[in-house]
Chain A
Amino acid sequence: MQKDSIKNIQNQIFNILKKNRSFRSKDFKYNNNIVEDSGLDSFEIMSFIIEIESFYSISFNPEDLLHEEMHSIEGLAKYIKSN
C-alpha cells in the first residue's frame, strides 16, 4: 500500500464508491462531500466506510469521521496514505 500514490488511492476509493447503485456519479469530484453529495444512504455510507477499512486493512477512529476533510475522497486518501 505504501507504494500507492495518492492519485491511485483516490481512484480506488472512487471505484468502491461508485459500486453503490444510488451513487450520483455525474459531476462528482474528488473534493465533493461523500456524506452530503454522493446520494448514498446511511447504510451505504456505513458499508462504504467498513469496506474501505477492509480494503486497506486500516481502522478508522470514530472521532476522525466527524472531521469535514474525511468526507471527501481527497481527505480519505490522505488519511489512508498517512496510516
Chain B
Amino acid sequence: MALIYKKLLEVVKKYPNKIAIIQDDKKLKYSELLKIINYQINQLAAQIPKQKKTIAILTNDFFTTLINVFALSYLNRTIIPINKGFSRSQIQNLLVKMRVDFIITNTNFRFKSTPKIKCSFNLNHNYKQIQNQNLTIAKADNFKNITKFLITLTSGSTGNPKAIIFSEKTKINRFQQAVKLFTISHNDVILNASPFSHSLGQRLTFLPLLSGATLVLLDKFNAKNWFDQVHLHKVTFTIPVSTHLHVLAEKLTQLNSGSLRLIISSSSSINHTTKMRLINNKFFVFGEMYGASEIGTATLIIYKKDTAEFKSVGQPCPNVKVKIKKNKKSDYAEIGEIYIKSQYAAEGYLVNNKILKISDKYGFFHTGDCGFTDENKFLYFSGRLKDVLIVGGINVFPSDIEAVLAKNKKIIQICVIGIFDDVFGDLPIAIIKSDHDRVKVESELRNLAYSKLASFQRPFKYFFVDQFPCLSSGKIDKNQLQKMFANSLPKLGDKLLSARDSIDSN
C-alpha cells in the first residue's frame, strides 16, 4: 500500500527542485517536502505502536496536516482529519465513536482516554537540520486488507456527522480523473483555500502534489488575500467553495491575472447575472461540476460563449452514470432524485466500526438531490430532496425561487427556506444578504416575485442578514436558518380560512 506516498515519491524523483508548496511568501521544493515527511515518518513510527491503526489529525494549520497525511500514508494508517470548527465535546465524542487510537495535534487540547502526539510544522522554519540529514526511514507496518486510508466526516450540522471511508486507490483514481477533466499538468499552480477535513481540500492537495504542480495554500480565506495569492504566484487553476465564490464573484469577472486559465464552481447557486459575466469573461474559462463526497465529481460543464445549457451542471463524466428516479406522485413529471453510479465512489460509511455500502444493489448512490436530464444527458440540479417545500400540497423547489430573485443585481446572496404553517404546510420565506437599502430591495424583490413566480412560490416574507450561518464546507447552514426564523411568520392561516370557506391553491 502507501500508494499516496509512493505517488509523491515518483513526483519527487521527476521534479526534485520544483516548487511543491507556497504559503504567503514561503516556498518549499519537492525534495525538501519529502525530507520533512520522512522525518515525520520516523517520529510517528517511534511513537505509534504497531497495533494502533486509527489516527486523527486536528491542527489549526494546513501544512502540519499535510505532512502527517503523507507520513501516515507511508505507515499504512487510517487517517481522520478533524474539522477545527467542531466543539471540544463534539471532538471528544468523535474520538470515542471512531475508536481513534492517537490524535496528532498542534493544539493544547487534552482528550480523555486518547493519547496525543503534539507536532507542528510551518514553512517559516528552514528545517536545515532535517534537510542536511540523510534519513533512513522507518519500516512501515504491513496490515492486511487496508481499505481505510482516509475517513472524511461530513459537516454534521445535526451533531452526527457521517463518516465516509476512502481507500488510497479511490483517492488516486479521483486524482487521475481530475487530471483528465481539468487538463492538469506539472506546469499548473493550484490554489487551495479549503481545509483538509473537507473533501474539496483533499482534492486540491493531492491534485497538485501528485502531478508535480505547485500548491498554493491559503489557510485563512478573505477576498484580498485570495486575489493577492492569485496574482503573486500566478495561479492557473482553482475550485472555490460556494461561499468563497459569492465573495469573489463580482471582482472575479474583471480579473486579469494573466495566469488563471480555469475556475470550476462546485454547483453553487450563483446570481444569474454574475454567472453569465463569469462565463463571458475574457480572461479565464469558467466551469461547473456536480458531485458529492461519496461519489466524487459526477458531471462537469466547461462553458463556452455559445453554451446553450448554462443552467445545467453538465454531462456525466467518463465512468459515471446518472439516473433520475422519478416519483409518480410528484407534480413535476420530469424531476426526480438524482442517482449516481461511479467508479470513483467511496468504499462506504463507517457506522459502529462496520463498513456500510453507500450504493444500492445496482451500484447507484442516492444523492438526496432533485433534478432532471435533457435529451443530451445534461443534468439540471433542482435542489435538495429534503429542501423541497410542500406549499398547500404543491411541491416547490427553493432553488427555482432563488434563481428568479437572484436576478436582482443588488443581492449578494439569497436562500429560500420553508416555515411550517398548520394550515398551508410550508410557507417560503427569503433570506437575503445585500449592501443596498433593504426597504427598496424588498420592494423590488416583491415586484419580481409578483411578475415571475406563481402565488404559491412567492416568499411570504423577506429577511435580511449581514452574514449567513455556514457549515465548514462553506455551504449555507439551512438547519441554523430554520431555527433562526422558525417563528417569523404570523399564524394567520386558520383565521384566513375562516374568512374563506375553502382553500384555493391554483
Contact = CB atoms under 8 A, between A and B. Distances in A.
Nearest to B450: A19
Interface string B477-506: 000000000000111111111111001111
- Determine the interface band of chain A, counting residues with CB < 8 A from chain B: 20 to 34
Contact of B447 (A19, A40, A42, A60): A19
A50 B455 contact: no
B495 A66 contact: yes
B495 A47 contact: no
Contact of B492 (A22, A51, A62): A62
A31 B446 CA distance: 25
Interface in A13-35: 19-22, 35
Contact of A71 (B424, B442, B489, B499): B499
Interface stretch (B23-31, B161-169, B347-355, B456-464): B456-464
B500 A45 contact: yes
A4 interface: no
Nearest to B489: A50
B492 A41 contact: no
A79 to B, nearest CB: 14
A42 B392 contact: yes
Given A20-B455, A41-B455, A46 B492 contact: yes
Given A19-B450, A42-B424, A43-B391, A62 B455 contact: no
A21 B458 CA distance: 12
Contact of B499 (A19, A20, A50, A65): A65
A42 B500 CA distance: 8
B442 A54 contact: yes
A45 B446 contact: no
B495 A42 contact: no
B499 A51 contact: no
Contacts of A21: 450-451, 455
A6 interface: no
A43 B456 contact: yes
Nearest to A40: B455
B503 A54 contact: no
Contacts of A50: 460-461, 489-490, 492
A32 B391 CA distance: 28
Interface of A is mostly: helix
Max count, chain A CB within 10 A of own CB: residue among B391, B461, B490: B490
Contacts of B496: 35, 42, 45-46, 49, 65
A8 interface: no
Interface of B is mostly: mixed
A40 B506 CA distance: 10
Max count, chain B CB within 10 A of own CB: residue among A20, A46, A53: A46
Contact of A65 (B442, B446, B495, B503): B495
B455 A65 contact: no
Interface string A52-66: 011000011011011
Nearest to B504: A41
A22 B461 contact: no
Interface string B295-333: 000000000000000000000000000000000000000
A67 to B, nearest CB: 9
Contacts of A46: 424, 427, 460, 492-493, 496
Given A19-B447, A66-B495, A41 B460 contact: no
B121 to A, nearest CB: 54
Contacts of B504: 41-42
Nearest to B493: A46
Given A47-B458, A62-B490, A66-B498, A42 B505 contact: yes
B362 to A, nearest CB: 40
B16 to A, nearest CB: 65
A44 B455 contact: yes
Nearest to A65: B495
A31 to B, nearest CB: 17
A53 B462 CA distance: 12
Given A62-B495, A66-B498, A43 B446 contact: no
Interface in B427-476: 427, 442, 446-447, 450-451, 455-456, 458, 460-462
Contacts of A19: 446-447, 450
Nearest to B447: A19
Contacts of A40: 455
Nearest to B494: A62
A22 B490 CA distance: 24
Nearest to B497: A42
Contacts of B391: 43
Nearest to B421: A46
Contacts of B461: 50, 54
Given A49-B496, A50-B490, 17 more contacts: A21-B450, A21-B451, A35-B499, A40-B455, A41-B506, A42-B424, A42-B505, A43-B392, A43-B424, A43-B455, A43-B458, A45-B500, A47-B460, A50-B461, A62-B491, A65-B495, A71-B499
8 contacts: A20-B450, A41-B504, A42-B496, A43-B391, A43-B456, A45-B500, A50-B492, A62-B490
Q: What 7 pairs across the A-B complex have the smallest Cβ distances?
A: A62-B495, A43-B455, A19-B450, A65-B495, A41-B504, A44-B455, A42-B503
